[in-house]
């Protein structure tokens, strides 16, 4: 299992639009083979930080995900709404 934590620091006033776009990405990603979980989380101390926390069976499932139509269409649109991003892929110890 691989956990992805993809933290987005949003531009001011873009939170609703980001969430709207993310909803479609979440819904379609959850249907993909190899997707264990996929959610969007808001930092309880700073609502300009929205983070995808995802669990995938393996690297192959992630590579397939990164090549889906919805990923390739929505990710660039999300990128326009943030000032910075930090992404880590994790394996459990």
CA distances from 88 to 14, 19, 24, 55, 83 (A): 23, 21, 22, 12, 17
CB nearer to its own copies: pick between 4 and 77: 4
Q: Is 74 in the site for its own copies (CB under 8 A)?
A: no
- Could you say which of 40, 48, 68, 82 contacts its own copies (CB under 8 A)? 40
Strands 35-43 and 2-10: unpaired
CB nearer to its own copies: pick between 39 and 79: 39
CB 40 within 8 A of CB 57: no
**Residues engaged in binding its own copies (CB under 8 A):** 2-3, 5, 7, 19, 22, 39-45, 49-51, 53, 88-93
């Amino acid at each position: 299992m691989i956990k992805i934590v993809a933290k987005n620091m949003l531009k001011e006033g873009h939170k609703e639009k980001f969430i709207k776009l993310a909803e479609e990405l979440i819904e379609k990603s959850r249907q993909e083979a190899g997707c264990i979980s996929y959610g969007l989380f808001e930092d309880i101390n700073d609502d300009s930080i929205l983070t995808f926390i995802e669990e995938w069976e393996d690297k192959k499932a992630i590579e397939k995900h990164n090549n889906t139509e919805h990923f390739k269409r929505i990710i660039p649109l999300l990128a326009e709404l943030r000032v910075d991003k930090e992404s880590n892929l994790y394996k459990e110890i």
